[in-house]
Amino acid sequence: MRALIVDDSKSAREVARVSLEAALADLGIEGEVVVAENGMQALKILAQDGIDLMVVDLHMPDLNGLEVLAFWQERRVEGAVAYVSSTLVSDRDAEKARDAGAAGFLEKPVTVEAFAAVLQPRGDGGV
């Protein structure tokens, strides 16, 4: 599995990376976690690499999470999923994220338990 964490906050990015790596290890899933510190960096990674799981911050200054999701939707590999992360989630934001292709929201700081819940195998062959 190849996962991408996109967040403009260095501390949030690091917490998410460490939590995701721990959840992968706990579940016995081999994987690589890459990080992007902004939306433009994320687009470069998404344009070149197959990403199975993406967690993208909703509120970023250059490209927001919804814009990154739109780009990803056109290039995602079959069975790949994306989640939006944020500290504050309105119903409207949640609806926009689902419309853009997000599987759901992960509240910041994203925990090992939150990642473990989304990494459990689904019946549709996805993550």
The full set of domains in the chain, from first to last, is 2-116 (3.40.50.2300)
| pLDDT at 124 > cutoff 50 | no
3-class secondary structure for 13-77? HHHHHHHHHHHHHHHCCCCEEEEECCHHHHHHHHHHCCCCEEEEECCCCCCCHHHHHHHHHCCCC
pTM of the model: 0.90
| pLDDT at 53 > cutoff 50 | yes
| pLDDT at 126 > cutoff 60 | no
| Residue 63: per-residue pLDDT | 94
| pLDDT at 122 > cutoff 80 | no
pLDDT tens per residue across span 76-118: 878 899 999 998 778 888 888 899 899 998 989 999 999 999 9
Distances (CA, A) of 108 to 57, 65, 80, 96: 9, 14, 21, 18
pLDDT tens per residue across span 1-37: 999 999 999 999 999 999 999 999 999 999 999 999 9
Q: Which residues of 22-49 are buried (b: 16+ CB within 10 A; e: fewer)?
A: ebbeeeeeebebbbbbbbebbbebbeee
| pLDDT at 60 > cutoff 90 | yes
| Residue 50: per-residue pLDDT | 85
